[in-house]
Amino acid sequence: MAEKKLIDENGIRTDGRKWNELRPIKMEVGTLKNADGSAYIEFGRNKIVAAVYGPKEVHPKHEVLPDRALIRCRYHMAPFSVEERKNPAPSRREIEISKVIREALEPALIAEDYPRTAIEVYVEVLQSDGGSRVAGITASSLALADAGINMRDLVVGCSAGIVDGQVVLDLNDTEDKEGTGDMPVAFMPNLNQVTLLQVDGIYSRENFQKAFELAMEGGRKVYQIQRQALLDKFFGGMQTESETQEGDE
């Protein structure tokens, strides 16, 4: 496993990227008509739809929260989204990811504005390519904004990891499976608060910090695309002042 080179002598990865380069990203807001809010994201070969229903009545009623909205989240992979057919029943992995996605989005939602209601977030992975949870979070956050839910900030996700002993940004499928570490991070870019962090693999203290900071740096680039997707939906592609400034850098 370790013999296979994932980064060549010129520092180029299996899909032609440099260590600090993101895969191509596309986002679109409001792609599903029935949902209160929705978004579609392509992140490399990841193809993910996210939909939001709510605020709506809570069923079963004993789950009602008197002071805020109940947030529910379901991350699910389509059986055809991976190499070998995945059993459509929720796996332990999907149950854990559903939980951490919910906990990554919740800090951004002003749930106190919707007491006694439920807000449901559905993430469906149509094709998976490594980093699907962070791409799912980026799309869910857009879907929540599209649904008009009051939010403190958007939430954006990006991962970094270790491949051939090197810290690299945004692992693809092969790098995720054959590399030695993956670190998905989600955060609120304007408040600079981390809302999701998972670590696996072996990191020296130095590499841990390097990967963590690289994931956040990548996330800030994803945020520009995420923000533009919202502007495209609601303002027909208008550019704001802060963005033109950032473009001049």
Partner 1 sequence: MSAVKKNYVVETLRKAQMIELLAKGKRLDGRALDEHRQLTIQTGLIQKANGSALVSLGNTQVIAGVKVATGTPFPDTPDKGLLVVNAEVLPLASAYAEAGPPDEDAIELARVVDRGVRESEMVDMEQLCIVEGKTVYSVFVDVNILNVDGNLFDATSYAVVSALRTARMPKYVVEDDKVKATEEIVPVPVSKTPVSVTMAKIGSTLIVDPTNEEEAVMDARITITTDDEGNICAGQKGNPGTFAPSEVLQAADTSIRIGEKVRRIILEATA
Residues 206-245 that bind partner 1 (CB under 8 A): 208-209, 212-213, 216
Q: For residue 89, give both structure tokens.
A: 């029943």
Least Å distance between CB 197 and partner 1? 4
Containing H/E element for 102? helix 92-105
Least Å distance between CB 203 and partner 1? 5
How far apart (Å, rounded) are the C-alpha atoms in residues 94 and 37? 22
- Say if residues 46 and 129 touch (Cβ distance below 8 Å): yes
| By the rule CB under 8 A, 85 interacts with partner 1 | no
Q: For residue 142, give both structure tokens.
A: 């857009």
188: CB partners within 8 A, 6+ apart: 107, 108, 152, 153, 154, 155, 156, 195
Least Å distance between CB 118 and partner 1? 15
| By the rule CB under 8 A, 107 interacts with partner 1 | yes
Among 40, 43, 75, 203, binds partner 1 (CB under 8 A): 203
Query: Considering beta carbons, is residue 130 or 181 the nearer one to partner 1?
Result: 181
**Pairing assessment for the beta strands 181-188 and 156-163 based on DSSP bridges:** antiparallel
- Say if residues 184 and 133 touch (Cβ distance below 8 Å): yes
Least Å distance between CB 30 and partner 1? 26
Among 197, 225, 232, 243, binds partner 1 (CB under 8 A): 197
Point out which span in 55-63, 96-104, 121-129, 167-175 binds partner 1 (CB under 8 A).
96-104
Choose among 31, 15, 249: nearest CA to 131: 15
Query: Considering beta carbons, is residue 28 or 103 the nearer one to partner 1?
Result: 103
Least Å distance between CB 173 and partner 1? 13
Angle between helices 205-235 and 132-146 (to 10 degrees): 30
Point out which span in 12-20, 46-54, 89-97, 123-131 binds partner 1 (CB under 8 A).
89-97
How far apart (Å, rounded) are the C-alpha atoms in residues 52 and 98? 14
Rg (alpha carbons) of the chain, rounded to whole number: 18
Q: For residue 183, give both structure tokens.
A: 């670190």
Query: Considering beta carbons, is residue 29 or 134 the nearer one to partner 1?
Result: 134
Give me the 50-69 binding string for partner 1, x by CB under 8 A, dash otherwise: ----------------xx--
| By the rule CB under 8 A, 201 interacts with partner 1 | yes
Query: Coil, helix or strand for 130?
Result: coil
| By the rule CB under 8 A, 95 interacts with partner 1 | yes
Sites of contact with partner 1 (CB under 8 A): 66-67, 71, 92-93, 95-96, 98-100, 102-103, 106-107, 177, 181, 183, 187-188, 191-205, 208-209, 212-213, 216
